[in-house]
A and B are shown apart, each in its own frame.
Chain A
């Protein structure tokens, strides 16, 4: 890509982090802060990926473990483990990742849609993919990650309904 083209393309800055050997990105405009891992207070009646709540300067903010959200196992938390606090509208929540990598400028025209990967990979929470040589960064949909379970269940049903309508 030539220099001129780069200047005319809009760039999305992504905060990238690693999770089970893969690299993910979160739109940097949604990131409020990055904190070292600290213990949270567990809350009952929640899915296992919601680890609990933490005190963010007086606000009670839920924290989710991305490994558990993606159906992976969590061996433990170490010095590199981070909590990335993101905002969706007025609401804040924390996501726990293995380690923060860097900030990556993703030109919008190089963001590719997520291919249909079947049941092997959970693609519900991805907005797109962006490649950079050998690197491949999966862009997370922060709004969907923290959707309540019932809304999620609705999402699972709705595509089917749409297909039925299209077929009729």
Chain B
């Protein structure tokens, strides 16, 4: 299937065919020196006159600046057209302000003749894509054929405006060009690599963004970086104190360019979440059939952009939540009518940006969490005490516990041994969180919050025993200094400290990571209050070194996963700094204390 119409789609028989050609050919002393452009439209002209249509050529020629200027008259091209087409054309003069005379001339010309209209640029409306001019042009023809590929990128009256007013198609030369492009851009042979050169990164972002979805590898040659690099190299070669200012300038320039490059590279990696949303209509349809339920799927915020690292990981937890919502949340049509609800249930997927995060919600208007059944189950499983008073939030938390499922029979959909606990773990492995809001009888909303990118984090660099650890900024609540009496010792070796109405556990990072020579007295170090997996703890470190962006590198590609460490990054001196996985470090500390 072509994405455009061709001559075959138009009825050319005895029609007035406005043929947009590119007659802007080089002329010297009133003679055309290169007729290539004219020759290329001849096949289209022949096709029109074969069908007894009138081929009415319209074209721009030179730059007459929107006024009638006979120096740029297309009349001088007529002999060349006659020679190329083998058929002498008639010339119709017009100033494009009043086209009545031209219209009469066209009507009186016999079928199957070739006519050349005067330069379209004799009217200023041409380049402004003036609607009135386009309408006057349209009054001269019945159909419109564009065969001026070299002018097709311009939105002028004779190329864009006119095409909207008449049945339009591409001429044969245009068709050949478009098909060649299609081969290169539409379904190219893989792998496709794009090389983009130039100086200013920011001017090319739009192009790069467009290309990234089409190509496998993108190589951007950034002129600015090369220039700065050679400048700095030169300063280094012949350095003296008098060049200090120059060095500073160079470094500042390098800093700017690097940041710009980083930002644009990150932007290129951003893709709309529609790529994930689009698989749900099918998932929902399948589930409707299997479960005998009726579901209307609503998608919102599909154009929300997220980094492709996140895009790859967000699908599975979402599929699980959607299955869960249809299987456990939405009622059967009969039950819904009985409950006074519309027969068709609504499942809504929503994505939006919130701060440095992307928020994805899966909501349904089903039964909501059934409090009594959840509590009953929790008591059965020993997760809650009989008669224990539980708040709504605590009840909602219960469904994220390992091995929890209230459906009496495990269905083959949600009851596949994968529970909400796995969803929560997968999401928190990505540095995000899952929570649920629910109203019994009205429905539930599951909210996934994930960082916009998994490739770069903002982190706080800390020092512990001469080693550096980076704590992700998103999980930090506050840092504070404690005095020795602020810390209480609990039976079993745990330590607690008072923080805003709460007693929080203190995790000594040097204990958890086994660092030697670290600060062990609480009053000499700093406590960073962090939040992970819905709870808060304090991390004891020696000192805070500063905030930085960290490009996350995996430890697993050459070694293995380390509990308490989510990855590593390269510090400015080239050494490796480790990134703390706050959730994991709490687990490690718990085990160490137990041992």
Partner of B562, one of A39, A40, A43: A43
Q: Given A41-B467, A92-B558, do A59 and B588 touch, yes or no (CB 8 Å)?
A: no
Q: Within A46-103, which residues are at the interface with B (CB < 8 Å)?
A: 46, 52-55, 58-62, 90-93
The complex places the Cα of A52 from the Cα of B555 at a distance, in Å, of 11
Give, as a whole number of angstroms, the nearest-CB distance from B373 to chain A: 40
Contact A43 B578 (CB under 8 A): yes
Chain A residue nearest in CB terms to B585 = A44
Partner of B577, one of A41, A61, A62: A41
Q: Which residues of chain B are within 8 angstroms of A39 by Cβ–Cβ distance?
A: 575
User: Does chain A have a CB within 8 A of B576?
Assistant: yes
Chain A residue nearest in CB terms to B516 = A42
Give, as a whole number of angstroms, the nearest-CB distance from A39 to chain B: 7
Q: Which residues of chain B are within 8 angstroms of A61 by Cβ–Cβ distance?
A: 558-559
User: Does chain A have a CB within 8 A of B348?
Assistant: no
The complex places the Cα of A60 from the Cα of B576 at a distance, in Å, of 8
Q: Which residues of chain A are within 8 angstroms of B553 by Cβ–Cβ distance?
A: 58-60
Chain B residue nearest in CB terms to A92 = B558
Contact A93 B570 (CB under 8 A): no
The complex places the Cα of A83 from the Cα of B139 at a distance, in Å, of 82
Contact B514 A62 (CB under 8 A): no
Contact B554 A46 (CB under 8 A): no
Chain A residue nearest in CB terms to B588 = A45
Chain B interface: which size bin?
Answer: 20 to 34
Chain B residue nearest in CB terms to A38 = B575
Contact B578 A59 (CB under 8 A): no
Partner of B558, one of A41, A42, A44, A91: A91
The complex places the Cα of A167 from the Cα of B532 at a distance, in Å, of 54
User: Does chain B have a CB within 8 A of A148?
Assistant: yes
Among B468, B512, B578, the one with the most A-chain Cβ atoms within 10 Å of its Cβ is: B578
The complex places the Cα of A53 from the Cα of B588 at a distance, in Å, of 20
Contact A62 B578 (CB under 8 A): no
Contact A41 B576 (CB under 8 A): yes
Q: Given A59-B553, A60-B568, do A41 and B575 touch, yes or no (CB 8 Å)?
A: yes
Q: Given A41-B578, A43-B565, A54-B576, do A60 and B558 touch, yes or no (CB 8 Å)?
A: yes
The complex places the Cα of A90 from the Cα of B578 at a distance, in Å, of 22
User: Does chain A have a CB within 8 A of B574?
Assistant: yes
Q: Within B498-518, which residues are at the interface with A (CB < 8 Å)?
A: 512-515
User: Does chain A have a CB within 8 A of B563?
Assistant: yes
Give, as a whole number of angstroms, the nearest-CB distance from A58 to chain B: 7
Give, as a whole number of angstroms, the nearest-CB distance from A16 to chain B: 24
Chain B 15-56 per-residue mask, 1 if CB under 8 angstroms from chain A, else 0: 000000000000000000000000000000000000000000
Chain B residue nearest in CB terms to A148 = B560
Contact A60 B565 (CB under 8 A): no
Contact A45 B562 (CB under 8 A): yes
The complex places the Cα of A55 from the Cα of B555 at a distance, in Å, of 11
Give, as a whole number of angstroms, the nearest-CB distance from A71 to chain B: 20
User: Does chain A have a CB within 8 A of B564?
Assistant: yes
User: Does chain A have a CB within 8 A of B108?
Assistant: no
Q: Which residues of chain B are within 8 angstroms of A45 by Cβ–Cβ distance?
A: 513, 562-565, 588
Q: Which residues of chain A are within 8 angstroms of B468 by Cβ–Cβ distance?
A: 41
The complex places the Cα of A41 from the Cα of B513 at a distance, in Å, of 12
Binding site for B on A (CB under 8 A): 39-46, 52-55, 58-62, 90-93, 148
Can you report 29 A-B residue pairs in the complex whose CB atoms are below 8 A from each other?
A39-B575, A41-B568, A41-B576, A41-B577, A41-B578, A42-B467, A42-B515, A43-B555, A44-B513, A44-B515, A44-B562, A44-B564, A45-B562, A45-B563, A45-B564, A46-B562, A53-B555, A53-B559, A55-B570, A55-B575, A55-B576, A58-B570, A59-B557, A60-B553, A60-B554, A60-B555, A60-B558, A60-B568, A91-B558
Q: Which 8 residue pairs across A and B have the least CB separation, nearest first?
A: A44-B513, A41-B576, A62-B559, A60-B568, A60-B553, A61-B558, A91-B558, A53-B576
A55-B575, A91-B557 are known contacts; what are 18 more A-B pairs with Cβ within 8 Å? A41-B576, A43-B565, A43-B578, A44-B513, A45-B562, A45-B564, A46-B562, A53-B555, A53-B576, A58-B553, A58-B570, A59-B557, A60-B553, A60-B559, A60-B576, A61-B558, A93-B559, A148-B560
